[in-house]
Amino acid sequence: MGQDSLPDNGLPAEFGFIARNFRPLAGDGALDLRDDAAVFTPPAGRQIVVAADAMVEGVHFLPDDPPDTVGRKLLRCNLSDLAAMDAVPLGYLLTVSMPPARDDVWFAAFAAGLAQDQKQFGITLLGGDTTSTSGPLVLSLTVLGHVAPGMALRRCGARVGDGIWVTGTIGDGAMGLLARQGRVADPDGFLASRYQLPRPRLGLELAGVATAGMDISDGLVQDLGHMARESGVGAEIGSALVPLSPTVRALGPQWLEHCLAGGDDYELLLAVPPEHEAQLLHHAARRDVPVTRIGQFVAGRGVRVLNESGAEMVLARRGWSHLPSAV
């Protein structure tokens, strides 16, 4: 909080900062970011879907990640939550707690990235807040969407016999973090870009197709465990069935376990009864989204990962926690 030094226009520094960087992102309902809140008319006959995520510098993104990717990553993670509920995006709110070291040049690029994604995903900024912090940059984003009444996809609907499906490839985000840390090769920057820019799998029209859905953010095995537990079933996947990108395959099989447990995938995990598989493939093809069946839900509890000979793999870890274990 800085004491207002009354620059030439008689407005605090914050107003110029918001006007320069964020007002161009504001859309219908945002009231030009000039009021206390945004106002919009909810789409007729639809339910509202809403999710919030925070990202902290040094935890969810690296201090030297390109500024245009940082806001987009958070936006896309939130859009991925909407995708998991089979919802259509409406808009978002963003709060920024900024350390003094981040200057206007950095935020201009940050906002330019958001502008690009707004166009791609057909949404605009509804509101937010900027404040200073003595710590690392913290971003918090709330996304709003809509869905047909009663049709939001839940985690708890998987049934014994449903196939376990994933979109895209698994592990690129986790390997991308290693690549950014110089721990694996990434000659063309594919892995880094997957870590920095997840691809929310919106528009798959999963209502009536999938019985359960969620996005994979904290590691495939751990997140599958959540879906299985919430649904009261067990899960079995084949490690060889899990789709890996050519880049990850080229790095060798020693990274498989890291991919199964790594975070930052932001792909969808779906439960799909066999009789709906054709429909899923049809919808996925229309959106040009690869989908792969990696196993099935079974009676019982927990997640079993089977290797190519059908033996259960023992995993050293299954996913990521956002808090230290001591908490």
Q: Which of residues 36-75 bind its own copies (CB under 8 A)?
A: 36-42, 47-56, 58-60
Binds its own copies by CB under 8 A, chosen from 5, 181, 254, 309:
5
93 binds its own copies (CB under 8 A): yes
Q: In the bound complex, what is the minimum distance in angstroms from residue 92's beta carbon to its own copies?
A: 9
Report the residue number, 9 or 309, with the smaller CB distance to its own copies.
9
| Token representation of residue 77 | 């993670």
Asked if residues 242 and 260 have their Cβ atoms less than 8 Å apart, the reply is yes
89 binds its own copies (CB under 8 A): no
Which of 125-133, 165-173, 203-211, 238-246 is the region at the interface with its own copies (rule: CB under 8 A)?
A: 125-133
Report the residue number, 138 or 247, with the smaller CB distance to its own copies.
138
320 is in an annotated binding site: yes
Report the residue number, 247 or 268, with the smaller CB distance to its own copies.
268
155 binds its own copies (CB under 8 A): yes
Which residues from 248-267 bind its own copies, rule CB under 8 A? 261, 263
Binds its own copies by CB under 8 A, chosen from 35, 116, 208, 312:
35
163 is in an annotated binding site: no
**How far apart are alpha carbons 69 and 64 in whole angstroms?**
11
Residues in a beta bridge with 293? 165
| Token representation of residue 2 | 């800085």
Which residues from 171-200 bind its own copies, rule CB under 8 A? none
Asked if residues 169 and 294 have their Cβ atoms less than 8 Å apart, the reply is no
| Token representation of residue 291 | 């989908």
Angle at the Cα of 88 from the Cα atoms of 195 and 147, rounded to 5 degrees: 130
36 is in an annotated binding site: yes
240 binds its own copies (CB under 8 A): no
**How far apart are alpha carbons 182 and 12 in whole angstroms?**
42
Binds its own copies by CB under 8 A, chosen from 171, 173, 198, 225:
225
Environment class of residue 229 by beta-carbon count within 10 Å: exposed (0-12), middle (13-18) or buried (19+)?
Answer: middle
Binds its own copies by CB under 8 A, chosen from 67, 71, 113, 128:
128
Asked if residues 239 and 302 have their Cβ atoms less than 8 Å apart, the reply is no
Binds its own copies by CB under 8 A, chosen from 8, 64, 103, 275:
103
**How far apart are alpha carbons 234 and 217 in whole angstroms?**
20
Binds its own copies by CB under 8 A, chosen from 7, 63, 122, 189:
7
Asked if residues 142 and 95 have their Cβ atoms less than 8 Å apart, the reply is no
Binds its own copies by CB under 8 A, chosen from 126, 175, 202, 270:
126
**How far apart are alpha carbons 40 and 31 in whole angstroms?**
10
Which residues from 266-325 bind its own copies, rule CB under 8 A? 302, 317-325
230 binds its own copies (CB under 8 A): yes
Which of 65-73, 77-85, 196-204, 276-284 is the region at the interface with its own copies (rule: CB under 8 A)?
A: 77-85
- In 23-51, which positions are buried (b, 16+ CB within 10 angstroms) versus exposed (e)? eebbeebbeebeeeebeeeeeeebbebbb
Asked if residues 281 and 219 have their Cβ atoms less than 8 Å apart, the reply is no
Annotated binding residues for substrate: 60, 264, 320
Annotated binding residues for Mg(2+): 36, 53, 81, 129, 215, 218
